Structure 1
Amino acid sequence: MTDIKLNAVERTEFGKGAARRLRRASQIPAVLYGHGGEPHHITLPSHETFLALKHSNALFDIQVDGKSTLAIAREVQRHPVSRDIEHVDLAIVTRGEKVEVDVTVHVTGEAAPGTLVSLEYQALTVSADATKLPEGVEVSVDGRQVGDQIHASDVVLPTGVELVTDPEMLVINVTAQPTAEQVEAELEEAEAEAGIEHDAPESEESAEDDEAAKDEE
């Protein structure tokens, strides 16, 4: 992926009030840090940043007062309800520098009939050139049988990308698809642990009332 250019402005106002004013002006507060230098507090254009962050591990070319700085997003804070971006932490990188990032695991293909594919870990930590970071990795389960397991070391990574995650970590587990009876039993067990009680059907309640009436007689 080519560098994504974002025009930024140095930020001079801080605090919640200043941040709210920036967001109302379609700007996002951000901090640019790393390589032993002082952090730079900047603002980024809201719409362009939103689109750029749709790409996992994107490489940003941050332009501030005519100066270009390469960076990757390390943390993105979002509003808990609206999911709007509220703040971005950007780590400075250089071309040729190795950095560690998390890449999403995408499951492809269809396992054998009667199987259940469980994705145990949704992301792997890898190391790669800052300018060649993968957005994700694909793992095929085509034709996989009950009992098959795919560990981190089995995942094929792009050229130049090294695995950092424990190679023995279980990523995908293929098991037998549970029966309806097993699903119902697990549901009942979970409800019992949570203390959930269901009202008895009307027919059962009527029978219980009749029995109670007979006992009173």
Structure 2
Amino acid sequence: MSEHTIKATGRSVEGKGASRRLRRAASIPAIIYGGKSEPKAIQLDHEEIWLANKHEWFYSSILNLDVDGKVEQVLLRDMQRHPYKQLIMHLDFQRVDAKQALKAAVPLHFLNEDQSPAGKAADVVVTHELNEVQVSCLPKDLPEFIEVDLAELTLGQTIHLSELKLPKGVEIPELRLGKEHDVAVVVARQGRVEVSDSAEGDAEGDVPATNVDSE
């Protein structure tokens, strides 16, 4: 698991007015909650977070949140964005207990699709039914992503949740609920076959004309 550190500063003034002033100063109001400590209001540099939020790890990894020199391990749990501006309005971080299992959404990385029999066939459509999966594990075992190797994918094949190769210590809670929860992750289906104009014309020519002079 890679290490990612985000710097922040504690803030004592809260409320809508204080948050607006922070945003005008290119900072993001945020909060840390969970664990045995009280919720803590913080602020972060918008430019740093804007760059970080372009990376997958920002959403799915344990982050080392350095607040005034004190580091806490957290997960990003919520992000509020401006409806049309490139502006992050607020962030929620949850503290992580190293000894307690957590649940998190982990992205799926699909590999070798183009090299697979299904991927090479012009008339086969490969559909990614899921792009992430909810896992449960200790913080130290949380993967940034899970790889799905499609090198052997063929027409008509479906890859289910239970077929994913999970890192050690990681499980999918959904699978405990029964076979009906073992949903499809990838499906290779027959694509729509286009009929050429000439073929349609030939087909029309094969239809016998009605004999109106039957008498």
Contact 1:105 1:138 in 2 (8 A): yes
Moved more, 167-176 or 54-63: 54-63
* Other structure's SS at 1:165 match: helix
Match of 1:168 in 2: 182
Paired residue type of 2:138: D
Contact 1:107 1:141 in 2 (8 A): yes
Q: What is the CA deviation profile of residues 87-127 of structure 1, one whole-angstrom value per residue up to 9, with x for unaligned ones? A: 11100013343211111122222342121111112211111
Calculate percent identity across the aligned residue pairs.
33
Contact 2:28 2:90 in 1 (8 A): yes
1: CA distance, partners of 2:108 / 2:7:
31
Paired residue type of 1:173: V
Q: 1:124 to 1:31 in 2, by over 3 A?
A: same
Match of 2:160 in 1: 151
**Out of 88, 107, 110, which is 2:110 matched to?**
107
Contact 2:35 2:97 in 1 (8 A): no
Match of 1:43 in 2: 43
1: CA distance, partners of 2:151 / 2:194:
25
Is residue 70 of structure 1 aligned with residue 73 of structure 2?
Answer: yes
Match of 2:147 in 1: 138
Moved more, 99-108 or 2-11: 2-11
Q: What is the CA deviation profile of residues 58-79 of structure 1, one whole-angstrom value per residue up to 9, with x for unaligned ones? A: 2222233433221111111112
Q: What is the CA deviation profile of residues 167-192 of structure 1, one whole-angstrom value per residue up to 9, with x for unaligned ones? A: 611111110011236xxxxxxxxxxx
1:18-29 equivalences under 5 Å are 18-29=18-29
- TM-score after normalising by structure 1: 0.74
Moved more, 60-69 or 82-91: 60-69
1:63-102 equivalences under 5 Å are 63-102=66-105
Match of 1:213 in 2: none
Contact 1:108 1:139 in 2 (8 A): yes
Unaligned runs of 5+ in 2: 176-180, 196-215
Paired residue type of 2:148: V
- 1:153 to partner: Cα distance: 0.5
Unaligned runs of 5+ in 1: 182-217
Q: What is the CA deviation profile of residues 30-53 of structure 1, one whole-angstrom value per residue up to 9, with x for unaligned ones? A: 110001432111111222223334
- TM-score after normalising by structure 2: 0.75
- 1:83 to partner: Cα distance: 4.0
1: CA distance, partners of 2:151 / 2:96:
38
Q: What is the CA deviation profile of residues 5-36 of structure 1, one whole-angstrom value per residue up to 9, with x for unaligned ones? A: 33322223333332222122221111100014
Larger strand percent: 1
Match of 1:6 in 2: 6
Cα RMSD for the two superposed structures = 2.1
Paired residue type of 1:121: L
Q: How many residues end up aligned between the 2 structures? A: 181
2: CA distance, partners of 1:122 / 1:5:
26
Moved more, 71-80 or 127-136: 127-136
